Structure 1
Amino acid sequence: MADIRVDRQGAVWLVTIDRAKKMNSLDFAAHEALVDVWRAFDADDSARVGVITGAGDKAFCAGADLKTYTMSFATLPPHEFRRKWVDGVGLGGITRGMEIDKPLIAAVNGFAISGGLEIALACDLRFCSDNAEFALQDSKWGFHACDGGLVRLPMIVGLGNAMEMILSGERIDAASAHRIGLVNRVWPQAELLTKALDYAQMLARRAPLAHRFAKATMRRMVGMPFADALKTEVRSFYDLGQSEDLTEGTQSFRERRDANFKAR
C-alpha cells in the first residue's frame, strides 16, 4: 500500500494519502488500498478514532484521478461497472456502502476538491489548515458529484450554501468554510496535524460504545418523523445503559478519576 500510509498511534490511526505529486488524487489502486485500510480499522477493536489527511502541504485530496478512471470506465462492461461502483463502495470506501461507527476526522491540509471534499464530508469532523480550499467542481466538466456530495453537503452547510457550491463549482477558502459550518476548526498549517491528532487522542479516551451507538442512531434517524426519531434515540440510550462502560463511567465520576472504558 505504497500510496496509502497508516500510522497507528495507540487507539488512533493516522491514514495518509501519499500521492502528493498527483495532488493526492486516487487512482484505482489507491482507492482499493484505502478501502482495505478502512475495513481493517473498522474490524480492529483496539482502533477507536481514525484521522485522514494528505501528504505534502498543497492538497488533502483532489478526488479521483480522472485519467485512470476514465480509461477504466471505458473498458468496464455495464454489469461490472454496476458491481464495482453502483452496488460497491464509494471513493476511498467511506463515501458510500461502508458504515463505520467510530469517529472519523478529516485533517484537510490544502485542496479538498470534488471527490476529495466528498471524502471529508463522509468524516464526522473536519479540521483544516488556513490555506485550505474546498470545491465540488464537477459541474465545470459536465457532471455532478456522485460520492455523497449532493447528499451530505446540504445536511452539513444548509441547502442554500450547498446549492452555491454545487451549481457554481467555485472554490471557497478556509474562512468561508468555517463560516458556513463546513469545517469545525481552522488552524495554521504547521499546527494542523498535531492539533487534529491531539483531538483524536482525546476522543479515543471517551466511551467507544457511546460513540458507536450515537453514530448509528443519528444515521438511522435521518429522514424519520420527529416523534419516531425521539423514540429511536431513547431506545439506543436504554440499550447503551446495559453496558459495562456506563457502569465504569458513572463510577469514575463518583471517584473523580478518568474512566477506563473497555467497549463492553
Structure 2
Amino acid sequence: MNYETLLCEVHEQIATVTLNRPKVLNALNTKVFDELEAVFTALASDSSVRVILLTGAGEKAFAAGADINELAATDAISGEAKARRGQGVFRLIETCGKPVIACINGFALGGGCELAMACTIRLASETARLGQPEVKLGLVPGYGGTQRLPRLVGRSSALRLMLTGEMIGAAEALRIGLVDEVLPPEQLMDRAKELAGAIAAMAPLAVAGCLEAVERGNGLGIDDAMKVEAAIFGRLCGTADKSEGTAAFLEKRSPKWAGR
C-alpha cells in the first residue's frame, strides 16, 4: 500500500501505520484523514492482520495536531464539516474490529491526542507530551476529544486539560489514565510489538468479540449490556475456534486458530 502521508507495513499478523510528515510534526491535514480512512478500511478487511500499531515518524511527535492553516480558513459551515470528517475517520479507527495500539512518541496534541484516544490501547514514550490546547485557538476539541477524554480520565481531569489547554507529560498522563504504559523511547515500539504479538496469538473472533461487546455495551444500562454480552458469547460458542480452544485446553496443547 502506497500513501503520500503514511507508511504501512505488515509483518507476522501485525500492521504498523506511521504518520509520515515529520517536518510538520505529523500534523493532520485533509490528505492525512483521507489516507487514514483508506488504510484502516483496507486493514479492517484483511484477515491476515490481527493487530494494528499506529505511530508517528521521527522522535518529536506522534501528531502535533490539526493543520492550523486549514483551520484558519474555516467558517461556521466548513468548520462543522471538518469536525464531522475527523470524527468519522477516528470513529472508523475505533470500531475497525481489530485492536489498535497507539505508540505515542513525542507530542500528541489537539487532533493528535484525539487520534490516540480513538485507539484501543495507548503506550507512551517517557518524552511524550499530551494535551487538548484548542481553547488557545478559540476552539473546542472537534474530533471527539470532548467525549472520549472524560470517558478515559473522568470529567474533572478532562475539563482541567481542556479549559487550561495545558500539556502534560507521560507520567501525569499515566496517573490520570490517559495512557496505559510509559516506556523509555528506545523500548516503545518493542513493547508495542510484544503486546501486539500477545493479542495476535489469541483467537481472532474472540478478540473481535471483546471489542464488540465493550463498544456496543458502552452507554447501555447494565441489564441491556449483559444481553449484548450473552449474545456474543453464544455466537462464539458455535464457532470452530471455540471447539479448537476447548479441545486444545483439555488436550494440553497449543490451539490452532482458524478464524471461523
Q: Please give the TM-score of this superposition, normalised by the length of structure 1.
A: 0.91
Q: Which amino acid aligns with 2:58?
A: G
Which deviates the most, 249-258 or 136-145?
249-258
Shift of 1:255: 2.3
Shift of 1:15: 0.3
Change (3 A) 1:160 1:89: closer
Q: Does 1:116 align with 2:112?
A: yes
Change (3 A) 1:94 1:120: same
Where do residues 59-70 of structure 1 align in structure 2 (5 Å cutoff)? 59-70=61-72
In structure 2, C-alpha distance between the alignment counterparts of 1:202 and 1:208, rounded to whole Å: 12
Contact 1:90/1:97, CA 8 A, preserved across alignment: no
Q: Does 1:230 align with 2:232?
A: no
The answer for the alignment partner of 2:242 in structure 1 is: 246
Q: Please give the TM-score of this superposition, normalised by the length of structure 2.
A: 0.93
Change (3 A) 1:105 1:188: same
Paired-residue identity, %: 35
Contact 1:28/1:69, CA 8 A, preserved across alignment: no
Contact 2:90/2:143, CA 8 A, preserved across alignment: no
Q: Which of the numbers 201, 211, 214 marks the counterpart of 1:215?
A: 211
The answer for the alignment partner of 2:47 in structure 1 is: 45
Contact 2:102/2:119, CA 8 A, preserved across alignment: yes
Unaligned runs of 5+ in 2: none
Change (3 A) 1:83 1:136: closer
Change (3 A) 1:98 1:198: closer
Contact 1:38/1:94, CA 8 A, preserved across alignment: no
Q: Does 1:141 align with 2:137?
A: yes
Shift of 1:104: 0.5
Change (3 A) 1:212 1:96: closer
RMSD: 2.0
Shift of 1:89: 5.3
Q: Which of the numbers 6, 18, 31 marks the counterpart of 2:8?
A: 6
Shift of 1:26: 1.6
The answer for the alignment partner of 1:194 in structure 2 is: 190
Moved over 4 A (4+): 80-85
Contact 2:125/2:170, CA 8 A, preserved across alignment: yes
Q: Which amino acid aligns with 1:6?
A: C
Shift of 1:98: 6.7
1:117-142, Cα deviation, whole Å (9 max, x unpaired)? 11100001000100101100011111
Change (3 A) 1:110 1:9: same
The answer for the alignment partner of 1:99 in structure 2 is: 95
Contact 1:25/1:61, CA 8 A, preserved across alignment: yes
Contact 1:89/1:96, CA 8 A, preserved across alignment: no
